[in-house]
Chains A and B, each alone.
Chain A
């Protein structure tokens, strides 16, 4: 298993993928956090779907991680794309047969891939946390938001909790990407389907019938990153999102183990 992880990490650290992804994480983490402060007085709101996060809310112990929590869903989309591409490309390049000749245990290949991509995702999340919090610390004083409570013991606890929530959410999105990669066996198809579903189909369904937000997979994972929402509790999102991920992973694993490798 360790050999698979080491082999996969070598692929993941190639500069175009690693630096490209980390660059996107850096940019969007900074942007999401900056907008919270730059648009604080905007009538259109400074958060998702026109919501307003006020100075008072941002000054709470949880204020320092507001930006980080809000970028969680976006990190999830990035993870979905990376996990899907890294899995499906083995079929399009025909490299899966090389992997299976060198490591015939398909479950070990799958588990090793997952662990290595989780390590990649973890690096992504740590970078995002640092950039988001740093941006918040820099911009808060410019709009009269107090940062006094952010690094109190309660504030530190919020940082840890949010980090764990974002990590669960990002890995959940990643696993969905991996499942799509295994099922569709093409990076373009897997990424297109995943992004289209999460960014367009789910948003349309929620706009048409708001109660669907409690049951759609992408919504649950985004809510987990935020630590719960007004409409959906954290534990509900964790249970439903976890069920989607587990079911998808089970089906994809069975297919991967049993399917002939004929390309």
Chain B
């Protein structure tokens, strides 16, 4: 039994002259929630499609639940997926759409109604798909992905179109699935969402891996920011001066100074400010969030 749900090595996909995914390597441990992060066009969906056997890699290898991706028939019965948004037959109801997929995969048809209830579509299951809102379509896509009672769930932007309540429900659902042993591989542009639920992160930019590993490891690699506020706005410039004298980069943002410095430099600043006659109203070290880390690592703004 492998201890990774997904492992890829040197995986590439080239379309004509364009390298959509370039020699990527990463692993997703079993039973974790792994966030798959990257700007539009970074190769996330292409990677997911290769992992699901929908497109053939140009180079490299991959394994899903221990099986090579050249043989998707060996693992897809244990994988649930929603790629590039939900896609269903508009003239069929949500229930009928799931029945088509349940029949196709040979899954128990009783699961259809259970899953519709689970994603909050129990009462609208008989309505035609074309009458669904974007959020409802998204929920149906998640229900379809859960049909096989998957060991690995791959979701591409599952919270698109959901309201805040829906986003919270999806977050709780994914966490519950992971707690029950399902590995969740989820891409989203809402990095704050991924930060809350992910154990692992794979960051992609222009088809290349920027970071792949535990989210804690990513965050501790980042330099924290010390935020300082003074009683007098005019004293902010003096705080910047103190920071830069000690070799730390500092900028004034709104009514506070943001200083890139280790956390243990905060008491030194406090002392230096006091000696300079500055009364600090706030002094708080702050770790960057995933979004800031992402922009920092990818160089994007």
Contacts and interface: CB of A to CB of B under 8 A. Distances in A.
Given A93-B87, A98-B144, A260-B55, A7 B92 contact: no
Q: Chain A CB within 10 Å — which of B84, B90, B99, B105 has the most?
A: B105
A51 interface: no
A141 interface: no
A3 B83 contact: no
Contacts, number: 77
A209 interface: no
A101 B55 contact: no
A89 B89 CA distance: 9
A49 interface: no
A103 B148 CA distance: 12
Contacts of B106: 3
B101 A104 contact: no
A104 B55 contact: no
A260 B79 CA distance: 20
B54 A11 contact: no
Given A4-B104, A98-B144, A104 B83 contact: no
A16 interface: yes
A3 B103 contact: yes
A11 B53 contact: no
Interface residues of B, number: 31
A97 B99 contact: no
Given A94-B84, A97-B54, A261-B49, A3 B91 contact: no
A105 B76 CA distance: 11
Interface in A101-146: 101-105
B143 interface: no
B73 interface: yes
Contacts of A6: 103
A7 B52 CA distance: 21
A6 B101 CA distance: 10
B209 interface: no
A94 B106 CA distance: 21
A104 B49 contact: no
Interface on chain A toward B: helix, strand, loop, or mixed SS? helix
A102 B54 contact: no
Interface in B90-110: 90-92, 96, 99-101, 103-106
A55 to B, nearest CB: 47
B105 A104 contact: no
A93 B88 contact: yes
B56 interface: yes
Given A7-B101, A11-B100, A93 B84 contact: no
Contacts of A10: 92, 96, 99-100, 103
Given A3-B103, A3-B104, A7-B100, A98 B73 contact: no
B55 A94 contact: no
Nearest to B148: A102
A102 B105 contact: yes
Contacts of B88: 93, 95, 98
B103 A100 contact: no
Interface string B50-62: 0011111000000
B81 interface: yes
A97 B83 contact: yes
B72 interface: yes
Nearest to A258: B56
A49 B148 CA distance: 56
Contacts of A262: 49, 54-55
B105 A100 contact: no
Contact of A94 (B87, B101, B144): B87
Contact of A100 (B53, B89, B99, B144): B53
Interface string A1-37: 0011011001100101100000000000000000000
A99 B83 contact: no
5 contacts: A10-B99, A97-B84, A98-B144, A101-B83, A260-B56
The 10 closest A-B pairs by CB, nearest first: A94-B87, A260-B55, A7-B104, A102-B105, A7-B103, A104-B72, A261-B54, A102-B104, A6-B103, A104-B73
Given A95-B87, A95-B89, 12 more contacts: A3-B106, A4-B104, A7-B103, A10-B100, A10-B103, A11-B92, A14-B92, A14-B96, A94-B87, A97-B84, A101-B79, A261-B55
